[in-house]
Amino acid sequence: MENLEQELKTETQVSVPTEEKMNWGRFVLDIIETLALAGILFLGINAVSARVRVDGFSMIPTLEDGEFVLVSKVNYRFGDVERGDIIVFHFPLDPQQELIKRVIGLPGDTISVQNGMVSVNGQTLSEPYIAAAPAYSGNWTVPDDQLFVLGDNRNDSSDSHSWGFLPFEKVVGKAVVIYWPPPLWEVIRHAKIPATP
């Protein structure tokens, strides 16, 4: 009888550590699997989108300083940039900076700003989305593989009227959603600018 009790105690003592090892092993494996899945999701999301904070007032009233915007990196892989699109791009004069502006002119377009009105290929634009009419003037013809971009706050925006054309290769993607702060959450509306060259 004593031998049987002794054997049961020994078996119990041996099985508890083995069971603990199995639980710890499973726990560590679960953590590794979770981290791997999180890494794959992070890389996948970053491959198709970017998140950008609006710094400054150049896109008022469409976008406010401090808002966070979700940017689609895939739109222009499957489609073309259109006049009126709001895009994020690497600033040509300082590629470390990302700016957000509205596309006004495509390659071959002639842009004219005169008397507070913007014209594309001779057609004066109706722009209900701007803060105020531009207080500057000029004429530009957009070269191949370049874009002409302007901020919606025309008189407080560093854009193509001041630093020139935007090479298409600098485009990060199309702004699609304001996601922060939550009360201002909304899908970004892109204007249609019909102006054929």
Instruction: Pick the range with the lowest mean pLDDT from 34-43, 80-89, 150-159.
Output: 34-43
Q: Tens digits of per-residue pLDDT, 176-197?
A: 988 888 777 778 877 888 765 5
Q: In this structure, which amino acid lies at residue 135?
A: A
Please name the helix (run of DSSP H) or strand (run of DSSP E) that holds residue 87, with its range, or none.
strand 86-90
Read off the CATH number of the domain in which 89 is found.
2.10.109.10
- Please report whether residue 195 resides in a domain: no
Q: What span, in angstroms and rounded, lies between the C-alpha atoms of 2 and 20?
A: 28
Long-range contacts of residues 133-139, Cβ cutoff 8 Å, at least 24 apart? 134/161, 136/161, 137/113, 138/112, 138/113, 139/110, 139/111, 139/112, 139/113
**Catalytic residue among 9, 49, 58, 160, which?**
58
Distances (CA, A) of 129 to 28, 61, 84, 184: 54, 7, 10, 17
Same domain, 150 and 90: yes
Is 157 annotated as catalytic? Answer: no
**Catalytic residue among 15, 21, 49, 101, which?**
101
Q: What span, in angstroms and rounded, lies between the C-alpha atoms of 85 and 105?
A: 10
Q: Tens digits of per-residue pLDDT, 132-169?
A: 999 999 999 999 999 999 999 999 999 999 999 999 99
Contact (CB, 8 A) for 178 and 71: no
Same domain, 58 and 44: no
Average pLDDT, the chain: 82
Is 101 annotated as catalytic? Answer: yes
Same domain, 98 and 20: no
